[in-house]
Amino acid sequence: MPDIPPQFRARVRHEPDRSYAVLVEGPDGEVLAGATGSLREVRTVAREGAARLFGVPVDQIAEAHLDVVIPQPPYGRDGQWVRIVSTDDPTGTESLDLGRAGQAHWFGHGGAWFVTVAGSGTAVHPSEHLDFAPVLTDDEAAELRRYLGRSAQPPA
C-alpha cells in the first residue's frame, strides 16, 4: 500500500485562455493533474490527480484533506471594471446581471471575484464568467460610478 500523505496540496495556474491548470504536489514535486475551464471542477481535478499520483482510489482522498491554492489571475486586478458574460445558472438569480458591468475585487479564499453591479449589489463570480476588458457605454460608467460612490458612503 502506498504512503498516503495526511494532507494533499494543489495549486492552480491560470492559463491565458482563462482555463485552470491544476498542479498536485507529489513526492517529487508538482505534477500537472489536468486542466478545466470551470472553477467548480478544480477540486475534482485535484482529487483525481492526487489519487493517480499516489496510486489510490479517489475516495481515499478526503475533501477535508485537500488544500487547493488559487492565486489571483494575472489578467485581473482589484477594483477593475468587468462585464458578466456567462453564468452557471442561466435561469436563476445569477442571470439577472448577465451582460451588465460591475467592479471586481479578488476573493482569494473562493478563487473567484466579488463583483458589484449597480442596482443589484455584490455576488461572487469565477474568472471564466467575466470579461476583464469590457467596453462600457458612458451611461453604464456613470451609473456604476454613482452606485459605487453611494455604497462607499457610511450610513447616516
pLDDT digits (tens, 9 = 90+) for 33-55: 999 999 999 999 999 999 999 88
- How much is the pLDDT for 115? 95
Q: What is the pTM of this model?
A: 0.85
Average pLDDT, the chain: 89
- How much is the pLDDT for 61? 85
Residue 114: CB partners within 8 Å, gap ≥ 6? Answer: 104, 105, 106, 107, 122, 123, 124
- How much is the pLDDT for 92? 62
Closest CA to 26 of 6, 3, 54, 1: 54
- pLDDT block averages, 10 residues each, the chain of length 156: 74 94 93 96 95 90 89 95 87 76 94 93 92 94 92 61
- How much is the pLDDT for 2? 56
- How much is the pLDDT for 40? 94
Cβ atoms of residues 102 and 117 within 8 Å = yes
- How much is the pLDDT for 154? 60
